[in-house]
Chain A
Amino acid sequence: MSLRIEPPILIGLVFIALILATGTAYTMVTQGTATFISPPYLLQQLHFGAFLGITAAGMMMVILLGHIDLSVPWTLAASAMVGTAVGGVAGDFTALGVGLAVGLINGIGVAVLRVPSMIFTLGVNTVLLGLMVMLTGGFAPQNAATPLMTFLGSLRTYGVPHSVVVWALVSASLIFVLNRTPLGRYMYAIGNEEAAAYLSGVRTRLVIIAAFMICSLCAAVAGLCLAGYSARAFQAMGDQYLLPSIAAVVLGGTNILGGQGKYSGTVVGVVLIVLLQSMLSVMQMDEAYRQMIYGAVIILMLLIYSRGRAQTA
């Protein structure tokens, strides 16, 4: 394990610096203060970023395998909705249980039935949506967040949002899994060449199921935090996390076809996306321009990566 910084991560860091500089310049000019880089403001951004960060962390596990999980939005929402509906500590555990169960189903569909993950997880997402609509009768859920959700999602200690701490813990665990355990090694192996991993005696099906369970568990944890932050669960609370989480993983240098990528890259990708969005909102940019700049930045960064790859290859 060498400590050299991979090109995508470096480019990501440069972009983050650019965004911080642009945002600060803007606030300096318009308000005369460097609000954009003040610690409270950045902590606030990290607080928002934590929800995306936890989701993206899980998403990275399946992307490393060369798969994708489109059921993340409603896994997140379903965990939070079921959790708040049950309530109390039991609700917290139920929420995590929902996540693990969805991951297990996804994993079985992909690893055992060998349905392309794209379509299987899409189907699971629709089913979850349907179940939640049935559960709530189509109305917005009225249950309040459990104490644990509130604690994780909206409280702070010494000014540090607990969500950020959760994100850090999730990150630490996944870094450990990826770098130190056979499971992590096997995940990279399967992402590169499933046949070779299988012929090396790796139980590939179990590894794929494990990765999907980690992904869904992360979505459930994000759901807990987000419900705590919003004081309740709501329909479609996960919808805005699907595409950004995929984008964050890819911007962090993980190959969408699997097998390559470092976890630190995903963190960089999340921070990049969150800061980009907050810069655009600080600049009071219209939603239209925000979307366009957001898309353009992703394409620009990917073009820079692929140029870099072409030159080294």
Chain B
Amino acid sequence: MKTLRLILTQNLGLILAVVLFVALYSIYVALHPNWGLNVVLQNGNETLALIFVGMAQTMAVLVGGLDLSVGPLMTLTNCFGSHVMAGTGGSVVAGVVACLALGSACGCLNGCIIVYGRIQPIIATLATGAIYIGLALLLRPTPGGAIDGDLAWAFTNDINELGMTYGWWGDLGLFGKIPAQPIFLALVVVLVWAPFKRSATGRGAYAIGSNAHAAYMSGVRIDRSKIAAFTLAGFFAACAGVYLTMQMGSGNADAPQAAEYTLRSIATVVIGGTSLYGGSGGVIGTIFGALVLRSISFIFRVVPGDSTFGFVASPLLQPFFEGLILLFAVSLGAARVFRVRNRLSLFT
């Protein structure tokens, strides 16, 4: 019982995000005229990049900062990827690795500027974000580049397609119907996030966000943890870029898109239950935060125009409702404000 209580209270934000997602996605499924696995695939394709960018933002938020370069970094790796991932076979793998390395290096650069230059994360990444967009434009002055169509097809579909495209395996039945996106996501979470969270460096990142002074006094390696967090942010942003490259099959230095992803990433983090003041939360919540955000837009596509709620069917209303739901979600926290009995505690 006690264990259950602890799990519940310590993951309240995450649980709320999951519940919200399940509710919204159920509405979507109910309204969709012919919902099926191919729809799930399409949903996954539209969501995965945002999930990765949100995960990147989570890293910065955990250490009590904000990273305005996650969107630009995604765009940069997308443009870079459209060059280096253009081959076939082994060279593609090398290209993917190169993209992830580039992203991590840029993230590490962010971290170093923030730690050694003693510049606030939000400002430092505002500037490096401009640099990354510049680099992206340099690599792709106009949208272009062609990724091997097979590759793009294979990695953005389900397991069967992946195997059959390359002749690795045939029809695997039900198992083969599993979409590829959750598998990529699970791989990144299990191989990268989980070890980080359970390393001393990763816990140092939580400690910094929770109370930087106490962390220093306790002998936490502040610099290392901070740089590691921003490096990981760069890595996740690169994952988004790589996926975008596979999904679109080309590179596009789209600055407005980068800015939109950056701003959305903040929303995914908050809906996912990570405190903007740092120290609590994690990428799992963010994944559901992104799913919530995307579910909202999915719903707008399928509301039947002639129903009672037909007036909300207009896709024009979508951003309005998206914003409203975001405001509503964050204002829920205000309940705490009205329960506070010592007003001084509002200021800490």
Q: Direct A–B touching in the complex (beta carbon < 8 Å)?
A: yes
- Report the bound CA distance from A116 to B122 in whole Å: 14
Q: Is the CB of A298 within 8 A of B126?
A: yes
- Report the bound CA distance from A113 to B130 in whole Å: 33
Q: Which residues of A contact B66 (CB under 8 A)?
A: 118
Q: Is A72 interfacial (CB 8 A cutoff)?
A: no
Digitize A116-138: 1 where CB-to-B-CB distance is under 8 Å, 0 elsewhere.
Answer: 10111011111111110110011
Q: Is A195 interfacial (CB 8 A cutoff)?
A: yes
**Contact-residue size bin, chain B (C-beta under 8 Å from the other chain):** 35 or more
Q: Is B318 interfacial (CB 8 A cutoff)?
A: yes
- Report the bound CA distance from A268 to B128 in whole Å: 21
- Report the bound CA distance from A247 to B334 in whole Å: 30
Q: Which residues of B contact A1 (CB under 8 A)?
A: none
Q: Which residues of B contact A298 (CB under 8 A)?
A: 123, 126-127, 130
Q: Is the CB of B131 within 8 A of A296?
A: yes
The tally of residues in A whose CB lies under 8 Å from a CB in B reads 55
Q: Is the CB of B137 within 8 A of A247?
A: no
Dominant SS at the A interface?
A: helix
Q: Which of B47-55, B199-207, B319-327 contacts A (4 or more CB under 8 A)?
A: B319-327
Interchain Cβ contacts within 8 Å, total number: 166
Q: Is the CB of A130 within 8 A of B276?
A: no
Digitize B108-123: 1 where CB-to-A-CB distance is under 8 Å, 0 elsewhere.
Answer: 0000010001111011
Q: Is the CB of B326 within 8 A of A122?
A: yes
Q: Which residues of A contact B93 (CB under 8 A)?
A: none
Q: Which residues of A contact B267 (CB under 8 A)?
A: 119, 122-123
Q: Which residues of A contact B135 (CB under 8 A)?
A: 288, 292
Q: Is the CB of B256 within 8 A of A247?
A: no
- CB-CB under 8 A for A124 and B141, given A134-B316, A295-B134: no
- Closest A residue to B322 by beta carbon equals A126
Digitize B303-333: 1 where CB-to-A-CB distance is under 8 Å, 0 elsewhere.
Answer: 0000000000010111111111011001101
Residues in chain A within 8 A of chain B (CB atoms): 68, 70, 109, 112-116, 118-120, 122-131, 133-134, 137-138, 194-195, 198-199, 236, 239, 243, 246-247, 250, 256-257, 286-296, 298-299, 302-303, 306, 309-310
- Report the bound CA distance from A310 to B116 in whole Å: 11
Q: Which residues of A contact B227 (CB under 8 A)?
A: none
Q: Is B129 interfacial (CB 8 A cutoff)?
A: yes
Residues in chain B within 8 A of chain A (CB atoms): 66, 68, 113, 117-120, 122-124, 126-131, 133-138, 141, 253, 256, 259, 263, 266-267, 270, 276-277, 314, 316-324, 326-327, 330-331, 333-334, 337, 343-344, 346-348
Q: Is the CB of A289 within 8 A of B134?
A: yes
Q: Is the CB of A299 within 8 A of B128?
A: yes
Known: A123-B267, A302-B119; 7 extra A-B contacts, CB below 8 A, are A122-B266, A129-B319, A246-B123, A286-B138, A291-B137, A294-B134, A295-B131
Sample (17) of A-B pairs whose CB atoms are under 8 Å apart: A112-B334, A113-B337, A115-B334, A118-B66, A119-B266, A123-B324, A124-B327, A127-B324, A130-B318, A133-B316, A133-B319, A134-B316, A247-B123, A257-B120, A287-B137, A299-B119, A299-B124
Q: Which residues of A contact B319 (CB under 8 A)?
A: 126-127, 129-130, 133
Q: Which residues of A contact B337 (CB under 8 A)?
A: 112-114
Pick from B256, B270, B276, B277: contact of A239, CB under 8 Å: B256
Q: Is the CB of A120 within 8 A of B330?
A: yes
Q: Is the CB of B259 within 8 A of A247?
A: no
- Report the bound CA distance from A310 to B318 in whole Å: 48
Q: Which residues of B contact A247 (CB under 8 A)?
A: 123, 126-127
Q: Is the CB of A292 within 8 A of B130?
A: yes
Q: Which residues of B contact A194 (CB under 8 A)?
A: 347
- Report the bound CA distance from A120 to B267 in whole Å: 10
- Closest A residue to B346 by beta carbon equals A114
- Report the bound CA distance from A239 to B267 in whole Å: 18
Chain A nearest Cβ from B209, distance in angstroms: 14
Q: Is the CB of A302 within 8 A of B127?
A: yes
- Report the bound CA distance from A312 to B241 in whole Å: 42
Q: Is the CB of B119 within 8 A of A303?
A: yes
